[in-house]
Structure 1
Amino acid sequence: MTELIHCDSDALAPIDTQQLLQPVSDDSPIKILILYGSLRTRSFSRLLAQECARLLSFFGAEVRIYNPSGLPLPDDCEDTHPKVSELRELAQWCDGMVWCSPERHGAMTGIMKAQIDWIPLSIGAVRPTQGKTLALMQVSGGSQSFNAVNQMRILGRWMRMFTIPNQSSVAKAWLEFDDNDRMKSSAYYNRVVDVIEELVKFTLLLRNKNDILVDRYSERVESAEALRKRVSERS
């Protein structure tokens, strides 16, 4: 066996393939949180979020859509604000998320970013986003663009989420919804179905395996060192 001279023997162990590949016997509905990034009366990101919710319900998921109206700017109030508490509780509740933002000035909206910024990397000992799945969508008023979804993909990785490969960008969104605020049949709608279907599949595969999938050697090294330090202090 090759000698790994820089590895901590207390933290390094073979990967438990049996645990990793063991099927999960859990037939409860997956839980998906949807965030959207506009407060307009007729918000196309909200309408797209609602279409996603319908599809998720069809696939058997339990869905919550967070309404960002009334959410303060990050750090402009205590994190005990009701809208902040609601958002953080939903982030802990869900197995995965859908983020749907308009593109404004070539980027996601401030409303979208504020929601993400209010979700911390950790709440006490709990990491509310780590190991959860994420699907990304955007709507544009003009030609098709991927600026917002590309930005959100970076954030999803930073939040330690499993961001699925597929994504959706709906161009000229004002043409894609009918008078009943339902999305019309189109290639854009088909892509939305693709994304939601893929999100459900990934979430089913990954849920209840977060502990082993996000278990990191570097963090085990820190834990082992902390344990050795405590033992040394007691002796």
Structure 2
Amino acid sequence: MRTANVSEHFPALPNILPELFYVPTSSDIAAAATATHAPRFLLLYGSLRETSYSRLLTLEAARLLEAMGGEVRIFDPHDLPLPDSEPDTHPKVRELRELAQWAEGMVWCSPERHGAMTGIMKAQIDWLPLSIGAVRPTQGKTLALMQVSGGSQSFNALNQLRILGRWMRMITIPNQSSVAKAFLEFDDAGRMKPSAYYDRVVDVMEELFKFTLLTRNVSGFLVDRYSERKESAEQLSLQVNQRVL
């Protein structure tokens, strides 16, 4: 890792540790190894209804990602327990966490209920910890957001999901999809009808795919933080001092 000579180049930063200060350059990204496997996506939806429009919209997203060459998994939230009501060894919790670690990008799709995302959607996200040992199952991975509404177009669930995406340290893409009066947007076979809403879903999946290709090889570099390098160095120093004593 390259470091900057803080005393020479940054005399106005006396509180920076020179040995831990890193100056990013475009060559860091250019030097990253290029993955050749298909991009991997995990899709979550937030309804258990037999006719779930968030699930139908998720299926449309899955078809688009697969048509672009992606590998897709959709998590079925049936039988997922409420957070903290069961140990994290529960089969559905293990399945969800393993899929989150496998994925390089995600799609979260929730109905809007009482002006918010559903409890089903929030429970899935709450079962995903920021870290599992040394592994961070969501950090640095891409995320696309969608919602369905029974009435007029709204962005309440999307706004909440975007906050959660940031909290989970994900690269949440700018574009998003909100489908109003979703019960009118799908045919009897469960396929989404041609519309501006459908075109927006295509836009969002294209953007997610592009962002994933751009970032999946360098996600570790993108989320590498000075504060965490400093904390790791302090912990290592403490361990060394304890051994000496």
Q: 2:148 aligns with which of 139, 142, 146?
A: 139
Aligned to 2:40: 31
Q: Which runs of 5+ in 2 are unaligned?
A: 1-8
Deviation per CA, 1:37-71: give whole Å up to 9, x if none: 00000100000000000000000000000000000
Secondary structure in 1 matching 2:152 = coil
Deviation per CA, 1:133-164: give whole Å up to 9, x if none: 00000000000000001000000000000000
8 Å Cα contact 2:32-2:217 kept in structure 1: no
8 Å Cα contact 1:129-1:161 kept in structure 2: yes
Aligned to 2:122: 113
8 Å Cα contact 1:10-1:221 kept in structure 2: no
Aligned to 1:232: 241
Aligned length: 235
Aligned to 1:166: 175
> Measured at CA, do residues 90 and 41 of structure 1 come closer, stay the same or move farther in structure 2, by a change above 3 Å?
same
TM-score of the superposition, structure 2-length normalised? 0.93
Aligned to 2:5: none
Letter in 1 for 2:182: A
1:58 aligns with 2:67: yes
Q: Distance in 2 between matches of 1:165 and 1:9?
A: 35
1:187-206 aligned at under 5 Å gives the runs 187-206=196-215
Letter in 2 for 1:2: F
Q: Which runs of 5+ in 1 are unaligned?
A: none
Letter in 2 for 1:5: P
Cα RMSD (Å) of the superposition?
Answer: 1.1
- Report the alpha carbon displacement of residue 167 of structure 1 after superposing the two structures with TM: 0.1
Aligned to 2:104: 95
- Report the alpha carbon displacement of residue 232 of structure 1 after superposing the two structures with TM: 2.8
Question: Share of identical aligned residues, percent?
Answer: 68
8 Å Cα contact 1:29-1:60 kept in structure 2: yes
Q: Distance in 1 between matches of 2:31 and 2:184?
A: 46
TM-score of the superposition, structure 1-length normalised? 0.97
- Report the alpha carbon displacement of residue 16 of structure 1 after superposing the two structures with TM: 4.6
Aligned to 1:184: 193
1:6-17 aligned at under 5 Å gives the runs 6-17=15-26
- Runs of 4+ aligned residues of structure 1 deviating over 6 Å after TM superposition are none
Q: 1:83 aligns with which of 78, 89, 92?
A: 92
Aligned to 1:152: 161
8 Å Cα contact 1:164-1:198 kept in structure 2: yes
8 Å Cα contact 2:34-2:217 kept in structure 1: no
